[in-house]
């Protein structure tokens, strides 16, 4: 691998010592910032499925149930990854590393969140939504974390399969079935995940290398990383446009995702050039812009049903 361009990223800062309550430590196990991002995709999908505002009971139950499912998966992920979290500076402040919570307590907590998630979705939404929540927790905690994360450089690509489950859950909660529209939206998130996460893993490349996690920026060449990031970005933008004929999206959505896609693609091309030429990397610009991009796309999804 040509190490020089990837090693040009700034070293990760070491976290400070935790000063939080036990309740805050348990909350940290659920990775609430990730849950927030997942909910950004759930509500717009529900609006699209309903053709307007879905019922408030269904919406609230889906948000609660989806948050519990995501919290369960994230907690179980930390139970399995506590050894590598202790090595990586970015994650040394997590509760299982600091000893604030025992692995057994975290395991029971994670399983309990999963059971609660299924109960909420089953009672107040649909059986399909509850079944998809079970699948989401299993895929992230077992398939991704235990089977793939430490074995393949494409780990985060498969992690995107867990990331799109809230879209399917939201659609199923409203309609009780699936359709092509949520499948296309799922593909958007699937292809979005690598260009979102690979820049972050460039930033923390040394951490992943020390922990022995074969992230693409660690084990792949700069050229391979550049091309794969660009390819996933172009596929993601194409899927946002594919939703137009599949779901009958209007002009506002079409123009919004086209412009947002162009802006994000330009940012990825700049990172591609930095990787290809070995110049100083600025991966976090792409990382932060990816969050804004996804929010804009799904905001357009939420607004569109009220404009036509």
For residues 116, 120, 123, 125, the Cα torsion angle rounded to the nearest 10 degrees is -140
Residue 6 falls within a domain, yes or no? Answer: no
* pTM > 0.85: yes
How big is the CA angle at 227 (ends 232 and 275), to the nearest 5 degrees? 120
Tell me which of 288 and 13 has the higher pLDDT: 288
Domain for residue 156, yes or no? yes
31 sits in the region (left: phi over 0; alpha: psi -120 to 50; else beta) called left
Determine the pLDDT at residue 270.
93
Confidence of residue 1 (pLDDT cuts 50, 70, 90): very low
221-248 tens-digit pLDDT: 888 999 999 999 999 999 999 999 999 9
- CA distance readout (Å), 228 to 164, 169, 199, 221, 245: 20, 29, 12, 11, 27
Average pLDDT over residues 144-158: 93
Rounded-to-integer distance, Cα 301 and Cα 44, Å:
6
168 vs 129: CA distance, rounded Å: 8
Answer whether 154's CB lies under 8 Å from 194's CB: no
Helix axes 165-175, 32-50, angle to 10 degrees: 40
* Measured distance CA(274)–CA(151) in Å, rounded: 28
Question: How many structural domains is the chain composed of?
Answer: 1
- Neighbouring CB atoms inside 10 A of 224's CB total 15
Instruction: Specify whether the CB–CB gap between 224 and 214 falls below 8 A.
Output: no
**Is residue 71 pLDDT above 90, yes or no?**
yes
Give the pLDDT of residue 18: 58
Alpha-carbon span 65 to 59, nearest angstrom: 10
Around Cβ 308, how many Cβ atoms within 10 Å?
11
Residue 284 maps to a domain: yes
Q: What is the mean pLDDT of the chain?
A: 92
- Is residue 220 one of the residues assigned to a domain? yes
9 found inside a domain = no
| 91-110 pLDDT, tens digit each | 999 999 999 999 999 999 99
* CA separation for the pair 88, 288 (Å, rounded): 21
Which structural domain range is residue 219 located in?
Answer: 23-306
Q: What CATH number is associated with residue 32?
A: 1.10.357.140
Per the document, the length of the chain is 308
For 2-22, write each residue's pLDDT tens digit. Answer: 444 454 443 444 444 556 899
Residue 3 lies in a domain: no
Q: Among 32-41, 71-80, 118-127, 140-149, where is mean pLDDT lowest?
A: 32-41
């Amino acid at each position: 691998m040509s190490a020089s361009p990837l090693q040009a990223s700034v070293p990760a800062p070491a976290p400070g010592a935790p000063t939080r309550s036990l309740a805050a430590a348990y909350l940290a196990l659920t990775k609430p910032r990730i849950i927030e991002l997942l909910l950004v995709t759930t509500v717009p999908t529900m609006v699209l499925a309903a053709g307007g505002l879905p019922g408030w009971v269904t919406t609230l139950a889906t948000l609660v149930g989806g948050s519990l499912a995501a919290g369960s998966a994230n907690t179980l992920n930390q139970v399995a990854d506590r050894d590598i979290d202790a090595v990586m500076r970015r994650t040394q402040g997590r509760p299982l590393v600091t000893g604030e919570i025992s692995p057994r307590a975290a395991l029971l907590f994670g399983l309990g969140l999963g059971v609660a998630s299924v109960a909420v979705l089953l009672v107040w939404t649909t059986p399909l939504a509850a079944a998809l929540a079970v699948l989401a927790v299993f895929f992230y905690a077992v398939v991704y974390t235990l089977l793939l994360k430490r074995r393949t450089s494409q780990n985060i690509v498969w992690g995107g399969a867990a990331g799109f489950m809230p879209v399917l859950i939201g659609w199923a909660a409203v309609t009780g079935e699936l359709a092509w529209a949520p499948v296309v939206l799922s593909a958007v998130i699937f292809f979005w995940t690598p260009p979102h996460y690979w820049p972050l893993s460039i930033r923390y490349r040394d951490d992943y290398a020390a922990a022995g996690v074969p992230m693409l920026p660690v084990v792949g060449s700069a050229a391979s990383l550049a091309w794969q990031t660009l390819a996933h970005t172009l596929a993601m933008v194409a899927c946002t446009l594919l939703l137009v004929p599949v779901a009958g999206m209007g002009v506002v959505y079409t123009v919004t995702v086209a412009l947002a896609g162009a802006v994000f693609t330009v940012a990825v091309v700049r990172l591609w050039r930095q990787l290809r030429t070995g110049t100083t990397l600025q991966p976090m610009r792409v990382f932060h812009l990816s969050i804004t991009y996804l929010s804009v796309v799904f905001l357009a999804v939420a607004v569109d049903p009220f404009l036509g």
